Homo-oligomer: A and B are copies of this chain.
Amino acid sequence: MTSPQMNAQVMTDMEVRAHADHHASLRLWLRLLSCTTRMEDTIRQRLREQFGITLPRFDLMAQLEREPQGLSMSELSRRMMVTGGNVTSIVDQLEKEQLVQRQTQIADRRSFTVRLTDAGRTAFAAMAQAHEGWVVALLSPLNESEQAQLHHLLGTLKSRNPTPTQEKT
């Protein structure tokens, strides 16, 4: 490829090939986007209809469910990759419905620990179970081996791209 014999014809072929590859990448991206958006819209709609909850609220509860000892507002902000004011608003709503609670810190009185309440944990368990069922059903066109392949390919994609944290900061 890099030999001195490389000539104008080869360059042209390479360019044609590059264009074809670019279009293939673009088609792949559009397919990736449409598959994901379609699943996400379905899940979002069902969460709203069946549980009266939005995806960000569900995500916040999911974060808390993984951390029984609770998380600070700023840590929630970091993990959900949204700014602080938005976390305040989501926690306000969930607290009003008694699904989460703010606990004052002894060590640092500026900060709160946010936790799921018992009611919140119970409610989340039901939602998470339904959510998992939807995901399993939506991915069921792929068998176990195909899902593993897809997981692997996406892992390659993810690990070699900059993280959102790096980009956002």
The residues of A with any CB-CB pair to B shorter than 8 Å are 21-22, 24-29, 31-42, 45, 132-133, 135-136, 138-139, 141-142, 144, 146-151, 153-161, 163-164, 167-168
Contacts and interface: CB of A to CB of B under 8 A. Distances in A.
A149 B136 CA distance: 21
Q: Helix, strand, loop or mixed for chain A's interface? A: helix
Contacts of A132: 22, 25-26
A31 B147 contact: no
Contacts of A22: 132-133, 136
Contacts of A158: 31, 34-35, 38
Instruction: Give the residue among A25, A34, A159, A168 with the most B Cβ atoms within 10 A.
Output: A25
A153 B149 contact: yes
Contact of A36 (B36, B133, B153): B36
A31 B35 CA distance: 13
A160 B141 contact: yes
B151 A38 contact: no
Nearest to A147: B28
Contacts of A45: 167
Nearest to A168: B41
Given A29-B39, A32-B154, A161 B138 contact: yes
A164 B25 contact: no
